[in-house]
Amino acid sequence: MSIATGTLAWLWLAVVASGLYHGINPGMGWPLAVSAGLMEKNPRALFAALGVLAVGHIAATLSMLLPFALLIAVAEWRRPIQVAAALLVIGFGVFRLVRPRHPRAIARIPPTQLGLWSFAVAIAHGAGLMLVPIYLGLCQASDLDSPHQAASTLVDANLGMAVLVALVHSAAMIASGGLLAWAVYRYLGVRFVSKSWFNLDTVWAASLILVGAIALAFNLT
């Protein structure tokens, strides 16, 4: 296996791992899926809620990735874009450490509007933003473009990659969150949630800084 192929495999693993990591965090919404199933007394309601949560998460992820997919089309500005993205992720991580509270606007979104709620929470947590350095690395490692290709080809390739990254990440997120939701709904009960609630916000903020720092180090060497 070549170095480029190995790097690409690790980047895809990072996309999946970040999705699993986001999914186990109750703050991303799987307890709401449990609540929907219990209120309707039907597991179909639980899975329907998970689907809506996934749509909101995908939308939030794409809202972060697509602008960079368009920017990276300017091949000669690849390095400054990657450095700027790394600094942006580090800065957001520091902001989340200093001000861990969510914006009040999120509290005004009723849980019944799961899609909008999932989108807003993912944006507030920086879920999509965390993927930006990984996504830019995917574009580079897979050699989707070169400075000599036409801009239209670059845009098409990177938009497709952005969508694929968002889908793979969100699938991993909803799989891990969905397994927890089903376990609580079917076996553990809501008392498990109240007794074992865990908050990953601080760890999440630290991981944003770590991801950004790694991306910055690679682009400055």
pLDDT value at residue 25: 84
Per-residue pLDDT averaged across 5-24, rounded? 86
pLDDT value at residue 144: 44
Low-confidence winner among 61-70, 78-87, 150-159, 169-178 (lowest mean pLDDT): 150-159
pLDDT band at 206 (very low <50, low <70, confident <90, very high): confident
* Closest to 185 (Cα-Cα) out of 39, 19, 23, 51: 39
Query: How confident is the model over 89-111, as pLDDT tens digits?
Result: 899 888 878 876 766 666 567 66
Give the Cα separation of 183 and 193 in Å (integer). Answer: 11
What does the mean pLDDT of the chain come to?
80
Q: What are phi and psi of 64, to 5 degrees?
A: -90, -40
* Closest to 188 (Cα-Cα) out of 199, 176, 196: 196
pLDDT band at 175 (very low <50, low <70, confident <90, very high): very high
pLDDT value at residue 188: 84
- Whether 115 shows a pLDDT value over 80: the answer reads yes
- Whether 154 shows a pLDDT value over 50: the answer reads no
Per-residue pLDDT averaged across 58-74, rounded? 83
* Residue 65: both structure tokens together: 């990735």
Buried b (16+ CB within 10 A) or exposed e, 177-199: bbebbbebbeeeeeeebeeeeee
pLDDT band at 210 (very low <50, low <70, confident <90, very high): confident
pLDDT value at residue 106: 63
What is the pTM (predicted TM-score) of this model? 0.79
Does residue 4 sit in helix, strand or coil? Answer: helix
Domain ranges of the chain: 3-220
- Whether 1 shows a pLDDT value over 60: the answer reads no
pLDDT value at residue 96: 79
pLDDT band at 140 (very low <50, low <70, confident <90, very high): low
**Longest Cα–Cα distance in the chain:** 59
